[in-house]
Structure 1
């Protein structure tokens, strides 16, 4: 009789309570897959690691057990084992906040969203501010953004602030606008836009940098609240099989918590940190230069996150030519070339990897132009600089990623989430250079894949599914959305493992299951390489292990 998963969990935990005399562990009867250093897909059925969590041997049961005699054994009962998956672009605290605040991502209409907000307000009467995230007016078929006038009848007694799904716009009620001092005469800040109606009245939606008018007056998160948020985020990452995440924009408070959690053994995913911007937090955090590793490779802080432009859904992405569905708008470049150059050069010269958010073709061009100028000046090519999203790029600029050695850090589920509006935004010609994974791969670029959670689900199998099928979870469109840009399954697997590790300077320690690397792996409920590709998004994680220790077990 097969043991239950609960019984297996008890066995695993008991095994690790054994005396330190039995320091090595062997995973046996595994249906294992990994990539090797050449990028070839190899199979194994046994994996051995020491008490520190470093892999000793991988291969057949006979070979591995002979290498490490007397080891304790964990029987995987034929289940599929993969290297831990790496999300190369997420927002760790943002995920935790979404999981502890109101999530509007499932609202399919304005009325549905307003009902959820009303219910949330009623259940949280003591909260001074009501906060949440996830709304998407494109899914509501409004033909417009929501307004403060929509919110005011629902919540009028306290300020309300809900971020759009992409984080590049916020929706406020009149109480929040008043608290921020926003009137119809408030000018648009640089890199931002206050949405207004035909009469010039502020409607309640703030785009990109304009959001700071509200967020800067909101109560700061306490350390206790930060711990709750981080705990929830780590739990969710372990649940979906993420053993390492690149955190795209953190400050002094987040850095302090990551170090504390690493010291206390509470980090259940490895965090590769990007400092948000090059201002005060960067100056404070960079005093001793890049932190290449901390706490047995559980934390690193050696990158900087900057923003070139906004997002496509809110028409904040900067385009060379006007939006196809809004002819008077080119979107928003956050900084002029000189300002952005100064920010990038400052970080590059101090030894940091520079990772710049660029979604529109004008944003991507601006950043590539600066890389071309400053790579030689700062002698920093070895820092593996990146462009985050690389979402709409002219064909000639796609080629420059390779010639300049810039890593495209891309999120496959953005394509399947954006397909309902992307072509209307950019038109039939520019869409050919959008979400163009095959074009990047064909020229030899290494794509670092992620999700941009909480903009998208952190579940990496959603990303692998989108990369391979170019379909959403309902299988639409049937032939895939611009399927000529799809990845093969091995390519998608690689971009969530080895190439994501490479983008974080961690390919010698993470990304595959090979001797000398960390024993970060997951156990899943299906054979990824034999199941129908259209079902990849249904893959479930049974166990997640980090450094040879179980950090999640499905109950």
Structure 2
């Protein structure tokens, strides 16, 4: 039974029970004493909510909830706090979130020198020969020069001196580039190669090894070239995978995240998630996208079809079609302003996107394509359009997505609504990236086509919000703040960047709840506070719909409820 049919069946059953008994069902828990923001246009706010087991059985005023209260009902006083539907991470990397807590977290580093020092500390406590890995650095956020640079990136020598006996690979915050030390490059057989001895071209299609003027590798590996190093990193043990899963789950609960769209997983993670569900540990609604780069893995899924469940669903395919703006891997129609002659990388052949899109339409899968640059977005939209033309009967509700849709040509903005393609965007990227993104694209392209939230919303297409964790922290209130202010997290500029593209608070809340649920075909099951829907919600200690914007960054989650179970209390 599909999720949508299951939700409708449950609602019909609840109404039938009420009509037959003549009195409402006694609630397991009731919540009163605060403001409920329902994300239901027919009833935007409420005073009280009742749940029975894992379902909502009442949303309304205080008088109406009294018949639901019995001797065994737990009554929870919100003490003036607000309650909203559970927030859904619309695009993130769940295991990356967990592993970011196990490996070196470089997201707060402000210089290359600080990164080198962190690696040196790690080397002192790590047995010789073992790999040191981390993620989160971003050269455009450094506050001091790293010294000699090539294309805006440092050279590996300082890192290699700090860790001569340990191979090191440090992923860029975007995940689309990595920095290696000499030992890692030696293991990959790259240190002795000159310009004339580059690896075979097919190994570098869609990526690059950055080299100095003498042909020596600098340590920077962009896009698909990362595989030359990462293939030598030992696989994580099952025990470590479970530990990372549990750390990620706890982080989501702390931040009010009740649903997660995991943007690209392979067979190993599929098996892990299935095991966690069997063990009763899947305490989050996981909507997992199958990594589409492995054709054998993808073909197996296309043959057997989607798996749809209220806690764990596999019905979407993730395709990575270009890189990131920070590492100049995003695929552009015109060259980078700060790197003339460079247009980024097409990391997946567009013919493959077209073929997968056709197969997905035929087999009932959703396609979610990573596209950041304007050319990548245009090319993906073209392939979606061609596939939909061939399968015209699937046009109504395919819900194909573009993940990020960060930089668009103005002509392509209305095409999302026209084709029924959903943009899954991360508002927090503007707060982090906008100060330096103008160097990559120039003022004209930034103003006409970057972070175009309101333009897309006004065209008639919903936006799915998220953080792209661990590219950005999982903190949803920082993302909510970015959505409505278009400012950096330190509050600049005063009016926000391109302020006409701000979301309203209502739009921002909906993008994190009901519209995110819609992006996973689950809007009839969750995303709003309505009778018959699952009991997923979050309680905040401040009224995020009314407080001054700067207070949003100080707001805390008081309680997270998933499937009727309180999974977190401050």
SS of match in other structure, 2:304: coil
1:71-470 matches, cutoff 5 A: 71-125=73-127, 128-140=130-142, 142=145, 144-182=152-190, 183-184=193-194, 185-187=197-199, 189-277=204-292, 279-293=295-309, 297-378=310-391, 379-381=393-395, 382-431=397-446, 432-470=448-486
Question: Match for residue 3 of structure 1?
Answer: none
Would the alpha carbon gap of residues 430 and 42 (structure 1) be closer, same or farther in structure 2, given more than 3 Å must change? same
State the secondary structure of the residue aligned to 2:545: coil
Q: Mind listing any 5+ residue stretches in structure 2 that lack a counterpart?
A: 1-24
Which piece of structure 1 moves more, 391-400 or 256-265?
256-265
Per the normalisation by structure 1, the TM-score is 0.92
Quick check: 343-352 or 301-310, which moved more? Answer: 343-352
Q: Which residue of 1 aligns with 2:4?
A: none
The answer (yes or no) to whether the contact 1:305–1:354 under 8 Å persists in 2 is: yes
Change (3 A) 1:339 1:287: closer
Q: Which residue of 2 aligns with 1:17?
A: none
Displacement, 1:537?
2.2
Partner of 2:44, secondary structure, is strand
Q: In 2, Cα distance between the equivalents of 1:316 and 1:169?
A: 9
Distance 1:127 1:231, change over 3 A: farther
Q: 2:323, 2:103 → 1: CA distance?
A: 24
SS at match of 1:420: helix
Contact 2:261–2:287, Cα closer than 8 Å, also in 1? yes
In structure 1, distance between residues paired with 2:69 and 2:268: 43
Query: Residues 440-483 of structure 1: CA distance to partner in whole angstroms, max 9, x if unpaired?
Result: 01111100111100001111111110010011221011111111
Say what the alpha-carbon RMSD is for the aligned residues: 1.7
CA distance 1:25–1:285, shift in 2 (3 Å): same
Deviations 1:151-194 (A, max 9, x none): 11100102101100000000000111111122332235111111
Cα distance in 2 between the residues matched to 1:349 and 1:122: 54
- Residues 433/64 of structure 1: CA separation in 2 closer, same or farther (3 Å cut): same
CA distance in 1, matches of 2:435, 2:79: 43
* DSSP 3-state at the match of 2:484: helix
Q: How far apart, in 2, do the equivalents of 1:123 and 1:244 lie?
A: 37
- Given that 1:191 and 1:332 are in contact with CA atoms closer than 8 Å, whether structure 2 keeps it comes out as yes
How many residues are aligned here? 528
**Aligned residues of 2:26 and 2:68 also touching (Cα < 8 A):** no
1:10 matched to which residue of 2?
none
State the secondary structure of the residue aligned to 2:162.
Answer: coil
Cα contact 2:289–2:315 (8 A) shared by 1 = yes
Q: CA offset at residue 410 of structure 1?
A: 0.3
Deviates more, 1:343-352 or 1:467-476: 343-352
Q: Could you report, residue by residue, the CA deviation over 1:271-303 in whole angstroms, capped at 9, with x for unpaired residues?
A: 10100115122233444201121xxx1110100
478-487 or 41-50, which moves further after superposition? 41-50
The residue number in structure 1 matching 2:10 is none
**Matches of 1:221 and 1:320 in 2, distance apart?**
39
**Is this contact kept in 2: 1:356–1:387, CA < 8 A?**
yes
Deviates more, 1:346-355 or 1:487-496: 346-355
Q: What is the TM-score of this pair, normalised by structure 2?
A: 0.90
**CA distance 1:181–1:350, change in 2 (3 Å):** farther
CA displacement at 1:345 relative to structure 2? 2.6
Task: Return the alpha-carbon distance in structure 2 between the equivalents of residues 281 and 499 of structure 1.
Answer: 29
**Alignment partner of 2:501 out of 467, 485, 492:** 485
Asked whether the equivalents of residues 407 and 445 of structure 1 are also in contact (C-alpha less than 8 Å), the reply is yes
Q: Tell me, what secondary structure is at the counterpart of 1:55?
A: strand
Map of 1:55 onto structure 2: 56
